[in-house]
Amino acid sequence: CEVHVFVEADAAKHVHRVYWVQFEAYIPSKPNSQYNYDRDAITEINGPAVHHCERFGAGDEKPRAGSDLEHVRNKILAAGYRLPKEIINARLVHLPDDTKRKEVMVIYMEDMASTGKTSADFIAGGKISEAWTPVGEALLERAKARVKFEKVTP
């Protein structure tokens, strides 16, 4: 896969937003493999259909070794930036054709502090509470305002 990472940060390098852009496709030796985002909701961003999922969690969560998240996190930290204590993110995935073998993914992240909430505000009885719904919906709208997908025809 090909990964690009952009951050919006203050002068002290405290990250306020992250834009993680990833292009990925299955190799020919895996002819039956497809991306499956059937559990995600679908919206349109500037025309193309985009699968989306909003999440929240700790900014210092240790990612699985060798994962894309570990790679992105290490790039940000190696550049001297500091991740927020807690993060909210919207994963946006466009599958450009019906084969579902290629994807363009953008993960838009924000410092949860901007919401005035913490992860504890979104957990009730060990499950995600209804309090998360309006925050997740507002996050998706901000992501849609900042990220655009366009179909390019040769």
Q: What is the pLDDT of residues 44-54, one digit of tens each?
A: 998 889 999 99
Q: Which pLDDT belongs to residue 152?
A: 75
pLDDT, residue 150, reads 83
Share of the chain above pLDDT 70, in %: 100
What's the pLDDT score for residue 4? 97
Task: Provide the pLDDT confidence category of residue 151 given band limits of 50, 70 and 90.
Answer: confident
If one compares 79 and 60, the residue with the highest pLDDT of the two is 79
- The predicted-structure confidence for 32-68, as pLDDT tens digits, reads as follows 999 999 999 999 998 889 999 999 999 988 899 999 9
- Cα torsion 77, 82, 83, 85: sign: positive
Q: What is the pTM of this model?
A: 0.93
Question: Domain-by-domain residue ranges, the chain?
Answer: 2-146
**By the 8 A CB rule, do 55 and 88 touch?**
yes
CA dist., res. 58 & res. 64, Å (int): 14
Q: Which residues contact 147 (CB under 8 A, 6 or more apart)?
A: 19, 45, 92, 106, 108
* Alpha-helical segments (H) within the chain: 68-78, 132-146
**CB burial class (10 A; 0-12, 13-18, 19+) of residue 109?**
buried
Give tens-digit pLDDT for 82-131.
Answer: 999 999 999 999 999 999 999 999 999 999 999 999 999 999 999 999 99
